Amino acid sequence: MAGFFSRSARAKTQQDDEAEAGVLHPISAADLQRRVELLDSFENAGLGWFWASDAQGRLIYLSENAAEKLGLDTADLMGTHLTDLFEPEVDQSLEKQSQRPLPFLLGARNSISQLAVKVAGGKTEHFWEIAGKPQFDQNQDFVGYRGSAKDITSTFQSAKDAERLSQYDSLTGLANRHRMTKRLTSTLTAFRNSKRSCALMMLDLDRFKQVNDTLGHPAGDELLQQVAARIEKVIDGRGEIGRLGGDEFQIILHDMDDRGDLGELGQRLIQMISQPYQISGSRAVIGTSVGIAVSPYDGVECDELVKAADLALYAAKGGGRGQYRFYHIDFTDGAKHRRQVEEDLRDALASDELEMYFQPIVDCKTHKLKCLEALMRWEHPERGFIAPSIFIPVAEDIGLIKELGEWALRRTCFQAKEWPVELRVAVNVSAVQFARDDFPDLVKSILMETQLDPHRLELEITESVFLGDPERTQEKFEELKRLGVRLALDDFGTGYSSLSYLQHAPFDKIKIDQSFVRGATEKDNNNPAIMSAIVSLAESLHMETVAEGVETKDELNLVIERGASHVQGFIFSKAIPHAEVLERLEKGELVYEPRGPEKYRSERKSVYRKIKLIHDNHVYDVTLRNLSKTGAMIEGLLDVPIDTNVVLNLGGGQLAVATVRRSEGATQGVEFELPLISDGADGLCTRHRVSPYQIEAAGKPLASLPEDPYELLKLEVAGNLKGRAFMEVGTHKSRG
């Protein structure tokens, strides 16, 4: 094959002689030998290669140095089909070409122009750019292709690397915002045609800023890498994960619309990300909040679905963080409300809208008041009381928490100084406030200013304060103890706990988180054993224990049985204003009587809400009185027979199939065919909703769900031959 473009020695000698004589010999179209010489020199110089195929698409010629470049023998390549040699598996985004794939071009006998291909069989990866034209004989019979090629491997790899940089986050290796937007857009477009669902999760890290502030940005980068690895472990190939920038992550999950499965996945992400991290010899603890939206239910277009997931994330953060939320149509108003909270909170201190309330902490055995925990309350002049679970996270986000914390500490100490009884007062200290290097000096200054006995002040500190420099943290503890104040470890056992905290930190009290109290009296619950372990640990370290969130008498009996020294919760009192505290103390009323339900009921939630009930294609207006995972109590229909099958329209496309199990007058107890699930907050929701694809099939445009999509389905048949089975009766909130 080396002679394919060879020339004769005689022609060379003659041309050399004439060249010496200065005779000009242009290369004419008929001068085949010199034309072949030109192609031969082009080939040998490595400027490009030539290839040829037969009519069956098999390789019959390839430049020898091209084969050498691939590390292959030319003879071994002969007979290889072009589609086996030139693989079309090239990233189309890099090709930026509009022509058809190679198999199509060969089959249609079309010309090939600047087609980027991957060359198969080589010892290393090579990319070529090929061109070729179909050849025909004098009878116009196809005889194969004649073409050229050039190596674009280095150019292609550079373009590929640049493309990757443009689509992937350099820190974590995850997809970046650009790629995630592109992927979500293409996925939603494809899924609309095939009537499939797609879930979107938005994650935002809680307390990440503290890591950057206390450990530095390199530590923050390392933390983000570890978070990315944990997310990948939880998702385990079931979706595409992206980092949008900062501490925001996004997950695309194909064919997922079961909110039970999505909620479980969201909770696993929260638990995994919330476990402690080891970074450059320091221990870091963060958390995450998760917002979940599902297409087409919550959005059909990319921007719409992203906005829905963002609003769900906003709600999760506003609800106290470390939670997940499913998007709800009401969240739009909630986001506006949060922005208003941000604006108004800055003026709340100056306007004297904030106030300290106090919740009693009583002795387990005697029920005598031992301490009062100070809790901040905000009464807005127009919107009334705004829950701390809403405004405290906002204060942290806008950098106001230090100022609020200092105000709360000073105000509480002044008020405790007024009490006629020398009781202890507990004040919550945020991790951000504790991180101040001068925090012990601030406490000392306030104690001197208010003249409160230091032994009466108890600082409640969460485990997140251990983030950062452990030596400086220990120094602060010792400085505070030298002042004479008491220290309590708040929310112990909520997932961040480490016995190493208790090894050196001089705590006087451990507060058992209410999550261990709630449901502890139910059968086969492990919380009582955990409570016993915490109490035993505290006693061995000569610390008091406080069981938080006790609401019922069976819970009270349990925490007493398990050895807790103190109790706090609604069973004795909610948080009350300072004026009521003063009045009670002046009367000497220091013993509290337990008041509350006899037993804890985990699932039933009292509600009062108008809903629709569907029976035999008729729609009735009823009132939902209470709701549990397995059933509900409704009012509004008279004398409904037992075992009647109904559907409760809970709103937002949530239809719960149910059977009447109890019926008395206008009140019915129904049992759900499928249990409801947690909505990530304190509410319940259905696993599935009315599909927008069903509404589309009924003749409506495809769109996200309205508040009552059932109306669009028009299931109630006008003029139905069967009349309404039940009589509607009015109900009043005062009933029951």
Residue 720: predicted pLDDT: 47
Nearest partner of 315 among 686, 681, 676, 687, judged by Cα = 681
How many of the other CB atoms lie within 10 Å of CB of 10? 8
Angle at which helices 177-194 and 302-318 cross, to 10°: 110
Closest CA to 418 of 606, 613, 574, 581: 581
Query: What pLDDT, on a 0 to 100 scale, did the predictor assign at position 510?
Result: 92
In angstroms, the CA 304 to CA 302 distance is 5
pLDDT band at 312 (very low <50, low <70, confident <90, very high): very high
Q: Please enumerate in sequence order all residues whose Cβ is within 8 A of that of 693, keeping only pairs 6 or more positions apart, or say none.
A: 195, 296, 702
Alpha-carbon distance 722 to 615, whole Å? 11
What's the pLDDT score for residue 722?
60
Q: Which band of pLDDT confidence, cut at 50, 70 and 90, is reported for residue 334?
A: low
pTM for the full predicted model: 0.66
Band of pLDDT at residue 717, cut at 50, 70 and 90: very low
Nearest to 282 by CA among 224, 222, 341: 222
pLDDT digits (tens, 9 = 90+) for 131-172: 999 999 999 999 999 999 988 888 877 777 777 777 899 899
- pLDDT score, position 93: 43
pLDDT at position 108:
87
- Integer Cα distance of 302 and 295 in angstroms: 9
- Over range 349-358, report the average pLDDT: 90
Which pLDDT score is estimated for 15? 59
pLDDT digits (tens, 9 = 90+) for 4-52: 444 444 455 565 665 566 677 677 667 677 766 777 777 776 678 899 9
Looking at residue 7, what is its pLDDT? Answer: 45
Q: Mean pLDDT in the chain? A: 85
CA nearest 188: which of 249, 255, 91?
255
- Mean pLDDT across 712-718: 52
Q: What is the pLDDT of residue 603?
A: 55
Mean pLDDT, residues 522-530 taken together: 84
Per residue, the 3-state secondary structure of 485-552, as one string, reads CEEEEEEECCCCCCHHHHHHCCCCEEEECHHHCCCCCCCCCCHHHHHHHHHHHHHHCCCEEEECCCCC
- Tell me what pLDDT residue 107 has: 86
Confidence label for 1 from pLDDT (cuts 50, 70 and 90): very low
- In the structure, what pLDDT confidence band is assigned to residue 601 with cuts at 50, 70 and 90? low
| Encoded tokens for 84 | 């086996």
Task: Give residue 719's pLDDT band: very low, low, confident or very high (50, 70, 90).
Answer: very low
pLDDT at 6: 47
Across the range 75-85, mean pLDDT stands at 89
Q: According to the model, what pLDDT value does residue 499 have?
A: 66
Of 88-97, 248-257, 446-455, 470-479, which gets the smallest average pLDDT?
A: 88-97
pLDDT at 89: 53
What are 602-657's pLDDT values in tens digits? 555 667 788 999 998 888 999 998 899 999 999 999 989 999 999 999 988 999 99
pLDDT reported for residue 210: 78
User: Could you tell me what percent of the chain has a pLDDT over 70?
Assistant: 87
**What domains does the chain contain, in order, with CATH numbers?**
46-159 (3.30.450.20), 168-329 (3.30.70.270), 348-586 (3.20.20.450), 605-728 (2.40.10)
Position 140 scores a pLDDT of 92
Top mean pLDDT of 125-129, 227-231, 518-522 is at 227-231
Sign of the alpha-carbon dihedral angle for 344, 345, 350, 351? positive
**Of 494 and 531, more confident:** 531
